[in-house]
Amino acid sequence: MPEQILTVTELTGGIKSILENKFQTVSVRGEISNFKLPSSGHVYMTLKDEGAQIPAVIWKNIRMRLSADLKDGLEIIAHGRLEVYPPSGRYQLICTSVVLAGEGTLQLAYAMLLEKLASKGYFNQEHKKRLPGVPEKIGLITSATGAVIEDMSNVFKRRFPAARLLLYPVKVQGEEAAKNVIGALQYFNELSDPALKPDVIIVARGGGSLEDLQAFNDEAVALAIFGSKIPVISAIGHETDVTIADMVADVRAGTPSIAAEIAAPDMQELLKHCDTQLNRQCAALHTKVEGIERQVDSLLGSYAFNRPQIKLEQLSERIGHLVKRMSQSAGNAIRHAERGFSSVTERLSLLDYRKTLERGFTLVKQNNSYITSRKCIQTNDKASVIFHDGEIGIEIIPDDSAPGTSSAQTQAPRTC
């Protein structure tokens, strides 16, 4: 079987794959030599000991976070990964953190955990929870004694005395500290009683050395803070102290007092804000009412709205005209009827026998019947003569002046 012949690129690629996969994370102790800091801001140097040396690179963004100035002759512990650079056919150490060898293992552990959590996105802003604007209940995880709890209490009394403070006392340093802090976070998150469950949690302690703050550089504490469903404010140490807990928390405060000011709103500012909002709402409501009034006025003045009213007024006017015409017509008809009635009355009055009687005529009545012929009455018959002003009885007597005739003799003669 013929021997496989690789190109330089293929061989280098194979070496690159093996080395970079095997040494993804490595910590190396050595002395700095050939230190170079060009204008790019990246550091190029060699790490060596008595038996070997390796090229190393510190990128600018990492160098800016270093607490010590590097130079030739310093012994350091570099944490990073191996990388093969094919164009020059050499491997080099890409440093992600650097501490002086004399600073001990705590700083190295801190740097390694920092890089680990950063690679998993624990410090990313999208994971940060928003703090409540006006928390009713504030959970405090700190020592029950000391200046920290007193300082925070004073801030709360001054800024927002209405807040209810729920203290979970813990050890803030020593072997049990990390376990205590994790237990406190779990307790507050697992509370089912709304009256006791805080709206925000403050994890706080005073300043101290790296050893004193070690509990807050613990990976389990960082995971408990990251996993809290309640927003967490971390206030560990002084302004210059930065722990893993500070970076994982939703908000980092430089001191416990600052944490209290961040958690609790200023009561005076809150009252001013309420007044401002009330004035705005009143002004908005007033403007809304004025706008609606203008709309109502516009509708009341519109033709569409007033058309029924106009129509009613037109119909009312028409009805008035019709009533007037009907009244006039009825009046004319009544007057015409009255004139006709008067005419008929006058005509009838001409036929009234009393009018005839007034002209000197009389009626002769016998047995409720009027005598209209001489033949209808006999001598000695009794009858009544009706004048226009009364009636008298008569008796028919013979008329001596003419044979065969009779004359009337009144029963009660009187002079007319």
pLDDT at 414: 38
Over residues 63-118, the pLDDT tens digits come to 888 767 788 888 888 889 999 988 888 899 999 888 877 555 667 677 778 888 88
DSSP state of 375: G
Residue 342 falls inside a structural domain = no
Q: Which residues contact 98 (CB under 8 A, 6 or more apart)?
A: 58, 62, 66, 68, 70, 76, 77, 78, 79, 111
Whether residue 251 sits in one domain with residue 147: yes
Residues 73 and 163 both lie in one domain: no
d(CA 20, CA 10): 15
The domain boundary residue, chosen from 265, 285, 316: 265
- Three-class SS of residue 345? helix
Instruction: Tell me the pTM.
Output: 0.50
8 Å CB contact between 197 and 137: yes
Give counts: helices (H), strands (E), the chain. 11, 15
3 in a domain, yes or no?
A: no
- What's the burial of 10, exposed, middle or buried (CB within 10 Å: 0-12/13-18/19+)? exposed
Residues 101 and 15 in one domain: yes
* Shared-domain flag, residues 376 and 395: yes
Which of 65, 88, 119 lies at the terminal end of a domain, its last residue?
119
pLDDT below 50 — which residues of the chain?
Answer: 410-416
For 135-162, how does the pLDDT look when each residue is reduced to its tens digit (9 = 90+)? 999 999 999 888 899 999 999 999 999 8
Decide if 126 is inside a domain: no
Report yes or no on 340 lying in a domain. no
> Residue 315 falls within a domain, yes or no?
no
Reading the block at residue 79, the tokens are 């944490």
Using CA atoms, how far apart are residues 215 and 181, in angstroms rounded to an integer? 9
Closest CA to 265 of 153, 141, 156: 156
- How many structural domains compose the chain? 4
First to last CA, the chain: 189
Same-domain check for residues 140 and 177: yes
| Dist. CA 387–CA 392, nearest whole Å | 8
